[in-house]
Structure 1
Amino acid sequence: MSTLITELCRLGGVIQSRTTPYHAMGNGMVERFNQTLLKMLGTLDEDKKSNWKDHVGPMVHAYNATIHDSTGYSPYYLMFGRHPRLAMDSLIGLNTDDIHAKFTNEYARKLRERLKDAYKKAKDTATKTAEVNKRLYDQKAHAAKIVPGDLVLVRNVTVRGKHKICYKWENEPYLVVDNLNLDIPVYDVRRDDPLARRICRLHRNLLLPLGLPNDKSTKSVGKDIVPKNKKYVIPQRRGMGSRIDDVVPSDIHPVPRRSARNRRVPMWQTSGQYEM
């Protein structure tokens, strides 16, 4: 984002791709490789894990020399147009460069043709793999639609340490101000406060829709859409330590949850051994 990086990208003809914060899927290729590398480092012996940085190079080389299911080729082959020369190849004197050419221009022509053919096949294979993965992902992907003017909760990304039982969302509601691109699930939000002016640009995965009052006349884009005398229904865990057990006005639609008939009552509420 700095001026230096912007100028270097301009000189090199590089188009920057910016992503929203705390959204690892925006850098899918990088994050996916980091996950693979961490799993590979996890296979080291306990006495070697403390010095894991010395093993990154050999493991990355092994990764680059392995054929990928998504492309049908190894990353090394797609980069250099030939298979990597491994230690075993050097030991037995095997030459992995099978492009036979007497002149430099002939070698360059054959290498260009080989890379062109490899790129075409890798692209076709990657497209088919992506279609299969998308179809499997869409079978379980369900999301509520968010439009400017809705109230949402923002995921609390500041929690550190063990946070399995902590609140996953902030208590204060946010107002959706704008959606710059309808094809991209990225929204501009700010706190639902007339004095709040700071705009945050967040991905849809970090937002949770809230219930709204029945009075649609108060709804407007970029303004307060809920009067101050109304209460918000914040979907948090009920029970001990809950702060939403107050009486909720009847004109607010709460986030759907399990009915009281089907909800299993904890033992500590019915046994009588514990007094609140």
Structure 2
Amino acid sequence: MFRLSCEQPEAGCGTSMAPGSELSRAGDDVSGLVSCEEVSAVLHAHRRWDDGATVRAISHAQHLEKLMSMGQSPLPVFTHKELYDNQSLDPVISRVMFFVDRGRRPSRRERVLEANETVYTLRQWGKLTTRLGILYRVSKHPVSKKKIFQYVVPVSLRGLVLKGVHDDAGHQGQQRTLWLTRQRFYWNSMEKDVKEYVAHCKRCVLSKAPEPEARAPLVSIVTTAPLELVCIDFWTAEDSNNKSIDVLVVTDHFTKLACAYPCPNQSAKTVARVLWNNFFCVYGFADCIHSDRGANFESSLIAELLQLSGVGKSHTTPYHPMGNGQAERLNRTLGGMIRALPARSKAKWPQMLNTLTFSYNCTVHETTGFPPFFLMFGRTPRLPVDVMFESVLLDGDTVDVDKYVQSLGEDLREAMTLAQQHASKQQKRQAEVYNRRSKGHSVEKGDRVLLANKGERGKKKLADRWDSAVYIVVAKNSSLNTYRIQHPTTGRIKTVHRNLIMPVNFLPLPSWEEPESHGYLSSGDVF
């Protein structure tokens, strides 16, 4: 029990409450505690509060209407009659409702006259029921075991149901969407339709990775002599002053010889100068230079330099670093060697690059079975440890120049033959291991594909994984797993790797089309 005290209406209304024990101690004489004016004040305050709630509700509704974007219609709400009429006008559900309302299964003779889908639905006989004329399938929650009344959805409403449980529910995966559907609805092909709808959903296709992601078989580049193919790439790291240092990494594909040159920048002029002064004039001119599609490697200056030198040029497909895998692998190895340096040496790692690459070139390479230095120069390099123990480390017999040249040639020819055999064996083994995980649907000429969205700027975590344009495959190179794809409207042709495209033959050209409608009755013609 509480004490309530009020002031006059003219002065407003206020209350103060105290425990009922005080009131109980006031004795039996409680007359006069509440006057007529006080009661009037309480009633007046309640009326003002009720009126205020109505005003606030109207204001809130008007505010929501202003927030609704132009052209956006409110959520449709189907009446009981509309839902009943949609079931009644469905040729399958109407027949099921007839038998359920009759309370008796159809006889064998009656089943012969019914459509296959009707007979299939009637297999749920023990779970079918009607409530206020509406047909339901009664199921149980898998955990709580509570009854779930699933509305049997006619064809006319299935598209709207799928949109509601998927598009309007966060574009979740097949299993989650199917769970949402099963908690509310039922129709014969529900699981198949849900999975197909999610798999072909425009937003899901563009924004999510396919399962499984494409992984084309590994194709190895084969070379047979030093400087037949030289791979180049840039690698960047910070020095002790947190200043970015660009390093031009150059590696010979056959011998695996590695070179690393610190550069002030990644401009084409810098690349041309370093290649000429530090590589071509030391090791000789390569048959071909291989790189990614960076502007510094694809510039007219580099093209002119290579043309004057008689050097060919090749490049990877866009956004596919595996196409220059040897340079990428050397970048990782170089980073690991720098991290392993002592703190004092690590602080000046750009000055240590020659030492690190020399050490790398002096050790045996897993692919060839020989040190890169030996395959390039035909001799074993002399190391500091050789100087320390020269009294016990015996070299070959001293010979004259002619015999040395002859011996060198024989050793190099034998080493190159063995290196080719060893490299071929290792490449085959690596390809077998990699190809065990290769997956993805076959893509043929004429197929429709989406191109991976690798050029998105800004917050890439939120960007669509695939470009919305649907391309046509116009050519296929099976040996390299590359494809030429054409934009349907601009006609522009791109060469891309298999891992960067996804077959989408279910999508129309040149633009998306809405699914076919099967409407009978609707609420405001919203579906």
Say what the alpha-carbon RMSD is for the aligned residues.
3.2
* Kept in 1: contact 2:317–2:323 (CA 8 A): yes
Alpha-carbon contact 1:173-1:191 (below 8 Å) kept: yes
TM-score w.r.t. length of structure 1: 0.66
Show the counterpart of 2:479. Answer: 183
1:73–1:122 contact (8 Å) kept in structure 2: yes
Once residues 109 and 229 of structure 1 are traced to their aligned partners in structure 2, the CA distance between those partners, rounded to angstroms, is: 71
Aligned to 1:205: 499
User: Following TM superposition, by how much is the alpha carbon of 1:63 offset from its aligned partner in structure 2, in angstroms?
Assistant: 0.8
Cα separation, 2, equivalents of 1:209 and 1:167: 20
Relative to 1, partners in 2 of residues 1:68 and 1:171: Cα closer, same or farther, differing over 3 Å?
closer
Higher alpha-carbon Rg: 2
Work out which structure has the larger RCO, using CA pairs closer than 8 Å and 6 or more positions apart in sequence.
2
What percentage of aligned pairs have identical amino acids?
33
Which amino acid in 1 is paired with 2:470? Y
Separation in 2, partners of 1:94, 1:20: 54
Change (3 A) 1:47 1:154: farther
Name the counterpart of 1:230.
Answer: 513
The correspondence for 1:80, drawn from 357, 364, 377, is 377
18, 32, 45: which one aligns with 2:315: 18
Q: Quick one: which of 383, 408, 411 aligns to 1:114? A: 411
- Mapping of residues 144-159 of structure 1, within 5 Å: 144-159=441-456
More strand by share: 2
Q: From the superposition, tell whether residues 94 and 69 of structure 1 become closer, same or farther in structure 2 (CA, over 3 Å).
A: farther
> Which one is further off, 64-73 or 47-56?
47-56
Task: Show the 5 A alignment for 1:4-43.
Answer: 5=302, 9=306, 14-43=311-340
Q: Unaligned regions of 5+ residues in structure 1, if any?
A: 214-224, 232-247, 251-276
Mapping for residues 127-166 of structure 1, pairs under 5 Å: 127-159=424-456, 163=460, 165-166=461-462
Report how far residue 94 of structure 1 moved: 5.9
Deviations 1:53-94 (A, max 9, x none): 122222111111111222221111111222211112223446
Write out per-residue CA displacement over residues 116-143 of structure 1, whole angstroms, 9 at most, x where no aligned residue: 1111111111111111111111111012
CA–CA separation in structure 1 for the residues paired with 2:370 and 2:435 = 27
Partner of 2:410, secondary structure, is helix
What is the distance in 1 between the residues matched to 2:405 and 2:394? Answer: 13
Does structure 2 conserve the Cα–Cα contact (< 8 Å) formed by 1:153 and 1:207? Answer: yes
Q: Is the 1:85–1:95 contact (alpha carbons within 8 Å) kept by the matching residues of 2?
A: no
Question: Which of residues 364, 370, 373 is equivalent to 1:67?
Answer: 364
**Equivalent-residue separation in structure 1 for 2:409 and 2:505 (angstroms):** 59
How far the C-alpha of 1:170 sits from its partner, in A, is 3.1
> Which amino acid in 2 is paired with 1:141?
S
Matched residue of 2:314: which SS? coil
Report the number of matched residues: 220
Structure-2-length-normalised TM-score: 0.37
- Maintained 8 Å contact 2:448/2:473: no
Task: Identify which range, 90-99 or 136-145, moves more after superposition.
Answer: 90-99
- SS of structure 2 residue aligned to 1:16: strand
SS of 1:157's partner is coil
Q: Which structure dedicates a bigger proportion of its chain to helix?
A: 2
